[in-house]
Amino acid sequence: MDAADMGQDLQQVLITEEEINQRLDEMAAQIDADYAGHDLLLVGVLKGAVYVMADLSRRLHRSVPMDWMAVSSYGSGTKSSGVVRILKDLDADITGRHVLVVEDIIDSGLTLSWLLGNLSSRGAASVEIATLLRKPEAAKVDVDVKYVGFDIPTEFVVGYGLDYAEKYRNLPFIGTLRPEVYGG
Ligand code: XMP
Ligand code: MG
ipTM at complex level = 0.91
Res 182: pLDDT = 82
Q: Which amino acid makes up residue 37? A: G
Residues serving a catalytic function are 107
CB atoms within 10 A of CB 176: 20
The reply to whether ligand 1 has any atom less than 6 angstroms from the CB of 175 is no
Strand partners, 15: 174
pLDDT at 76: 57
**Closest C-alpha among 82, 95, 30 to residue 56:** 30
Residue 156 contacts residue 11 (beta carbons within 8 Å): no
pLDDT of residue 73: 78
C-alpha 175 – ligand 2 centre gap (Å): 16
Residue of minimum CA distance from atom 13 in ligand 1: 157
Residue 180 C-alpha to ligand 2 middle, in angstroms? Answer: 23
Phi, psi angles (nearest 5°) of residue 26:
-65, -45
What CA–CA distance (Å, rounded) separates 148 from 105?
A: 9
Distances (CA, A) of 77 to 20, 137, 179: 27, 19, 15
Which helix (H) or strand (E) covers residue 31, if one does?
A: helix 17-34
33 contacts: CB under 8 Å, gap ≥ 6: none
CB of 158 sitting under 6 A from ligand 1: yes
Look at residue 77 in the predicted model and tell me its pLDDT: 59
The residue type at 86: I
Q: Which ligand is nearest to the CA of 70?
A: 2
Residue segments in the chain with a per-residue pLDDT below the cut of 50: none
Residue nearest to atom 17 of ligand 1 (CA): 156
User: Would you list the domain boundaries of the chain?
Assistant: 18-154
Cα angle 102, 163, 136 (rounded to 5 degrees) comes to: 55
Residue 78 is given by DSSP the state T
Q: Is 106 close to ligand 1, i.e. is its CB under 6 Å away?
A: yes
Please tell me whether residue 157 adopts helix, strand or coil conformation.
strand
In a 10 Å sphere around its CB, with 0-12 CB exposed, 13-18 middle and 19+ buried, how is residue 79 labelled? exposed
Q: What kind of fold does domain 18-154 have according to CATH?
A: Rossmann fold (3.40.50)
| CA–CA dist 29, 15 (Å, integer) | 20
Any idea which ligand is nearest the CA of 166? 1
